[in-house]
Amino acid sequence: MSETPRSQETADDAVPSLPQRRPGRAFAHSTGALGSGHPHRSDGRPPHTPRGARSTGRTGGPGTSPPVPGPSAYALPLACVLLFALVTWQVAAHGPLRVLDERLGRAVVGADAVPSGLAELLADLGNTVVAVPVLLAAVVFSVVRRRQWRPPVAAALAMVAVPLLVVPLKWWIGRAGPPAMGAGPHDGFFPSGHAATAAVAYGAAALLLFRTWWWVAPYALLNVGVGVGLVRQGYHWPLDVVGAWCLAGVVLWVQAGGRVVPTRPALRDDCPQHAP
């Protein structure tokens, strides 16, 4: 049987041509092919599917996704709420924690470790005539110099929330004050209004004025000093101050959550680059 003659081409006579796609072959996945690793795309860009590769932002997440707060963001208010519930229960029920608290308060009143003049000065930092003007100055600065409205309004509302929270609790608990105050059985000393005022006013002012968190340490020391002054002078029991700090922590957390902090948008790494 004779065969039909075929034209034989040598390597020198072969005409170069582009490879042709064949059905059933994963040509796009072949090594070195254009768009290798990305099926059904001939321009080399990743597909817009969940399996597609996406460039990440500076924090390691996708460049186009906004940051999502994790569970740790709720650790502070949750701890404050739980501690306040425990302290309030012990104070209202005359529990063993209240017994230890009053014993400690009697030992601290008039202690020589803290001079009376210094203790009185620290306690006065919780007065509204001292703390509120500091917050008002920070509010004015934020409005005039930074042209912001939402953070100052949040700070003002945080200060207004102090008496709205403290006064009903004082009336409900009706705790008697230290012996140095000559208080009756229903004078209402829990929680401390001075400690709550100092914590919220100075904390709200710091949130308005500063962009970093370096102020937390001196702020904490200042409020510890206010608490020591209140207890040393016999104005409050220690748990009165602790309860006020718990309320202030929740109020400041709410304020910080409503604050708008200007940030620079993350750079998009997946944008197509123009050839020079």
Quick one: how many helices (H) and strands (E) in the chain?
8, 0
Q: How far apart are CA 205 and CA 130, in angstroms?
A: 13
- Tokens 């065969």 sit at which residue? 3
Q: How far apart are CA 38 and CA 110, in angstroms?
A: 77
| DSSP reduced 3-state for 96 | helix
Q: How far apart are CA 143 and CA 262, in angstroms?
A: 15
Q: What's the sign of the alpha-carbon dihedral 107, 111, 117, 118?
A: negative
Q: How far apart are CA 126 and CA 139, in angstroms?
A: 19
Give the pLDDT of residue 72: 74
Give the pLDDT of residue 123: 97
> What is the number of other CB atoms lying within 10 angstroms of the CB of residue 95?
14
Q: What is the pLDDT of residues 56-108, one digit of tens each?
A: 444 444 444 444 455 678 899 999 999 999 999 999 999 999 999 999 999 99
Give the pLDDT of residue 124: 97
Give the pLDDT of residue 258: 43
CA-to-CA separations, 33 to 39, 45, 51, 75, in angstroms, rounded: 11, 13, 20, 51
HSE value, Cβ hemisphere, 13 Å, CA-based, for 207: 28
Give the pLDDT of residue 264: 39
3-state helix, strand, coil in the chain (%, to 5): 55, 0, 45
Given a cut of 50, the residues of the chain with pLDDT beneath it are: 1, 7-12, 25-38, 52-53, 55-68, 183-184, 258-276
Give the pLDDT of residue 15: 52
